[in-house]
Structure 1
Amino acid sequence: SATLSLHPLALTAAAMPPPPPPPVHLRLRVSITPPHPLPLPYSRRFSSATSGPATARHLSLRCGSRRRVPVCAARSEAAGAEGFDEELGRLLELLPGELRRRVEDHPELPALVEVVMDLGRPPLARFPSGDFLLSHRPISFDDLRQATAKVGDFGGDNRAGISRTLHRISAIRNRQGDIVGLTCRVGRAVPGSANLLQDLVKDGGSLLLIGPPGVGKTTVIREIARMLADDYDKRVMIVDTSNEIGGDGDIPHPGIGNARRLQVPNQEMQHKVC
């Protein structure tokens, strides 16, 4: 007779199923190179994050299928399209004469992002390549009063606009409610900025655009509204909380195409507008 002896640990190990394979994570990244290189200022801003000059600006898109797709918000030659120079001129009219001339003489004028005027501080013009000092003379109350007198009324969110343009003027107030700072941001309508999203827009699913300030979220949303109304013959109604999408004034900006727009008199009561 023969005796077979097995260690208990060996039996336990043999009875256990093999461990499952490690999970595989797939990350999809889609990038589009525009037909023409972006202006130099945009290449400068993003060159540090890539091995060569950047050719597109990216947003992060989250949709119902839980995919994340970078959205190219490329600002091509549309900045110099017909009508934009006139709209930009209306924004620059808010500045004192000396500051306006300094901005107009800047080589990156078509790519201007915003002008910052804070009480007691030198004014700045911000371009994708960096900040540009407009004057060593600090901003005074008179400078701020002259600028605010040329724009519409500021709402509860301390924002105002210029009629039939996409520019946004944001105010900073002190404890007494006086305006002590202005940020004059340039608004642009860029046709084709949402081309990468055509299949998602056509499917009719929900979209959430995520990105830091100044990367083109509002620009893409405006183009999506135009695309739905003009290209897909949808009935589009925009609930425009701060008149950022359709522009200031009662006549919407042509950038939204045939889409219609609901203005919101009070942000806290927006649900009643809908």
Structure 2
Amino acid sequence: MTNGFRCSDDGLDALLGVMPPHIREAFEIHPQREDLIEIILDLGRPPEARSPGKITVLAPHPVERVDIEHVVKRIGAFGKDNRAGIERTLHRISAIRNRVGTVIGLTCRVGRAVRGTVDIVRDVIELERSILLLGRPGVGKTTILREAARVLADDLNKRVVIVDTSNEIAGDGDIPHPGIGRARRMQVSTPSEQHSVMIEAVENHMPEVIVIDEIGTEAEALAARTIAERGVQLIATAHGNALDNLMQNPTLSDLVGGIQAVTLGDDEARRRGTRKTVLERKAPPTFEVLVEIQERDRLAVHHDVAHVVDMSLRGLPLRPELRLRDEDGKVEIRKAPAPAEAQTAQVTELRPAAPKPRLTNRKTMRIFPYAVNRSRLDQAIRICQALVQVVNNVEDADMIVMLKSHERHQPKRLQLALSQGMPLHVLRNNTVTQMTYFLRSIMDQRAPQPEREAAMREVELAVRDVMENQHAVELSPQKTAVRRLQHQFAEGYGLNTESTGSEPQRRVVIYPASGV
């Protein structure tokens, strides 16, 4: 395989073995055997082999009913989704039927377990955050999903359960394909029962990770939220190519928090400069990270889905992290682009009367969590009302927090940060109680200032961050009087602000100036 990937036995001979002899013989001389995507058999048309960017006619004679029957007799039974397979392989055979139910066409898709495909997002998977993969059909979502399950089960010793609706992840038959490693597989009798099996997997088998292919119904989206709220890491795919597709899909928008219309008061609408009815995110997203698979070797990663959805609803530009893989298999990570220095200078010149932020010691602790449950950490931060920001890159952190079980197996980037003096705090277990004790000890050590002074120092730093990096910043929850001062300070720079959330967690969000 290219790009340094290693493909396990793809069982192509097993797929060819169910083909009619004249088609099998024609394919033996096919020049792109290793790149074969699928074989198409449609009644009355010549058989075709499809590879990337190329369609090859395998035989001049059209497919006859006897040819289709030859294949159907040699594969597993078709389910209600009109899909079948070949035992102990990853190949998928999908049927096209006429109006009376007779099979008149077959799409015989080649399934391969490819080692190395998950390396482009392996660091994200290791953070124990729930990840949603998006991409068009055939771009490699299921291949990454399968490899992720194997890495989590074999390399990280996680209890992984795959909910395999069409047997596409772990293959046909009762014994799963070795491509999933030690991960366990639960088959689904009919696609309409996938949501029930998802819940059953959590209740009966105590997984740390659940892997799901193709979340497509409201019931499955609700089941995914239920699983995530129980602290289980989810890795799944969904229909759609990008975040916008999900946000506009009423069935699946709950995966990214859901969208609702909110009516503002007159004063709030005037302050925002918007209409009285605006769209806002309804709830915390089920998935914390969203990966758009644009091409097999090109991915866009949104590390904070809640923040990205909020920005999109306000019409602000999205700047995902871009990941590219070259022909040698090396991964290049391009961070979200920052605005040009000239733009930042121009912003400052437009506000000569505004007071400049004081250069103070940062009072907001920036934490990089490794193998720590993100949703529980966020809950602990809310409980403590701590001036703590969770960051996605260790380079941006003031401290690393990790589980004791992962202390001996640290990625190289963490080892480098620790060797350069980065503080480390180790949690015994992944509970809100442990995280709350940790946060309170940090707050005590940092000798907090009175509430108002600390809040104003926070808004000073936030204003500077917004002006320099042109992205929104959400402040810590504050009382009404303190929030009013924060609004006034930020708006003195010409920035946009709003209060969000419900008491006692209501807080100020600062946005870049419109048109800049």
Partner of residue 175, structure 2: 251
Instruction: Find 1:173's aligned residue among 94, 97, 114.
Output: 97
Secondary structure of residue in 1 paired with 2:88? coil
- Rate the CA distance shift 1:244–1:270 in 2: closer, same or farther, 3 A: same
208-217 or 87-96, larger mean C-alpha shift? 208-217
Give the paired residue count. Answer: 198
* Counterpart-to-counterpart distance in 2, 1:105 and 1:188: 20
Instruction: Find 1:269's aligned residue among 184, 193, 197.
Output: 193
Partner of residue 139, structure 1: 63
Partner of residue 132, structure 2: 208
CA shift, 1:77, in A, is 5.7
The superposition leaves residues 29-56 of structure 1 with CA deviations (integer Å, 9 ceiling, x where unpaired) of xxxxxxx8x3xxxxxxxxxxxxxxxxxx
CA shift, 1:200, in A, is 0.9
* Counterpart-to-counterpart distance in 1, 2:137 and 2:197: 27
* Counterpart-to-counterpart distance in 1, 2:17 and 2:92: 14
* Counterpart-to-counterpart distance in 1, 2:27 and 2:132: 35
Could you state the TM-score of these two structures normalised by the residue count of structure 2?
0.37
Partner of residue 115, structure 1: 39
CA shift, 1:154, in A, is 0.2
* Matched AA of 2:142: T
Q: Is the 8 A contact 2:20 2:67 kept in 1?
A: yes
Structure with the larger strand share:
2
Instruction: Find 2:13's aligned residue among 72, 89, 98.
Output: 89
* Matched AA of 2:172: D
112-121 or 99-108, larger mean C-alpha shift? 99-108
* Counterpart-to-counterpart distance in 1, 2:6 and 2:73: 30
* Matched AA of 1:140: E
Report whether the alignment pairs 1:241 with 2:165: yes
Structure with the larger helix share:
2
* Counterpart-to-counterpart distance in 2, 1:212 and 1:191: 21
Report whether the alignment pairs 1:102 with 2:30: no
Report whether the alignment pairs 1:78 with 2:2: no
Q: Is the 8 A contact 2:45 2:63 kept in 1?
A: yes
Secondary structure of residue in 2 paired with 1:182? strand
* Counterpart-to-counterpart distance in 2, 1:77 and 1:234: 23
The superposition leaves residues 14-37 of structure 1 with CA deviations (integer Å, 9 ceiling, x where unpaired) of xxxxxxxxxxxxxxxxxxxxxx8x
* Counterpart-to-counterpart distance in 2, 1:210 and 1:268: 21
Could you state the TM-score of these two structures normalised by the residue count of structure 1?
0.70
Partner of residue 154, structure 1: 78
CA shift, 1:127, in A, is 1.0
* Counterpart-to-counterpart distance in 1, 2:77 and 2:96: 14
* Counterpart-to-counterpart distance in 1, 2:45 and 2:184: 41
Q: Is the 8 A contact 2:5 2:116 kept in 1?
A: no
CA shift, 1:271, in A, is 2.2
Q: Which has the higher contact order (CA 8 A, sep 6+)?
A: 1
* Counterpart-to-counterpart distance in 2, 1:103 and 1:214: 22
The superposition leaves residues 83-130 of structure 1 with CA deviations (integer Å, 9 ceiling, x where unpaired) of 33xx10010112211211121211211111100000111110001140
Gaps of 5+ in 1: 1-35, 39-73
Partner of residue 186, structure 1: 110
* Counterpart-to-counterpart distance in 1, 2:136 and 2:25: 30
CA shift, 1:78, in A, is 2.9
* Counterpart-to-counterpart distance in 2, 1:93 and 1:129: 25
* Counterpart-to-counterpart distance in 2, 1:158 and 1:183: 11
* Counterpart-to-counterpart distance in 1, 2:163 and 2:102: 29
- Rate the CA distance shift 1:224–1:77 in 2: closer, same or farther, 3 A: closer
Identity, in percent, stands at 53
Partner of residue 477, structure 2: none
Report whether the alignment pairs 1:226 with 2:164: no
* Counterpart-to-counterpart distance in 2, 1:264 and 1:127: 30
The superposition leaves residues 184-218 of structure 1 with CA deviations (integer Å, 9 ceiling, x where unpaired) of 00000011110111111111112121222222111
Secondary structure of residue in 2 paired with 1:107? coil
Secondary structure of residue in 2 paired with 1:117? strand
CA shift, 1:272, in A, is 2.2
* Counterpart-to-counterpart distance in 2, 1:200 and 1:225: 14
